[in-house]
Every structure is written in C-alpha cells, then in structure tokens.
Amino acid sequence: MAIDIPIAYNTFIAITPSDTVAIGESTAGDGKKRAPRAVYVGGTGALVAVMADGTTATFSGIPAGTVLPIQPTRINATATTATLLLALYQV
C-alpha cells in the first residue's frame, strides 16, 4: 500500500500532549478538529499516538527531527517523552 506523503506542508500547529484533548485544526463548517497529515518530533523520545478509531501506538526512540507520517487525533501526555511536537498540514 502506497503512502501519500506530500512534498511540503504549508501550515502547522504546536502539539501539547494530553490524555483528553484532541489535536488538530478546527474545520470552518462543523468545528470538528481535523487530524494532521504528519507529526514532527523536535526532541528525542517516545510518543503515544491515538488514532481516530481509538487505538493507540507507542513510537519509541524517535530521533530529533523526525517526521512521522501518521494522522493521530491525540498525542497522550502519559508516556510521551518526545518534545517540540508539531502537527503538520497540507491545505
């Protein structure tokens, strides 16, 4: 299965890990948050991602400067040690 990774992202928002608050931009029409196209990890560590279906995945040992091609609805604060997280969008 091919992964559609855009050449460039043209907007971003800082991610504050939370065990309850979703990340993402709010859509104009319904106010729901839109998942990012990818997540940038600026500081080395682990990241616990929550996907739209509620499943979680722990990414361990992520080096600084990594772009993860995942579309999480939330980054959990519990067990996330990676820092300087950005949600990346192509709009």
87 pLDDT band, cuts 50/70/90, is very high
Is 15's pLDDT higher than 70?
yes
User: Each residue of 54-66: pLDDT tens digit?
Assistant: 999 999 999 999 9
User: Each residue of 39-54: pLDDT tens digit?
Assistant: 999 999 999 999 999 9
Cα–Cα distance list, 44 to 20, 64, 66, 68, 84 (Å): 23, 5, 9, 13, 9
Q: How far apart are CA 91 and CA 80, in angstroms?
A: 27
Is 16's pLDDT higher than 90?
yes
Can you give the pLDDT at residue 32? 66
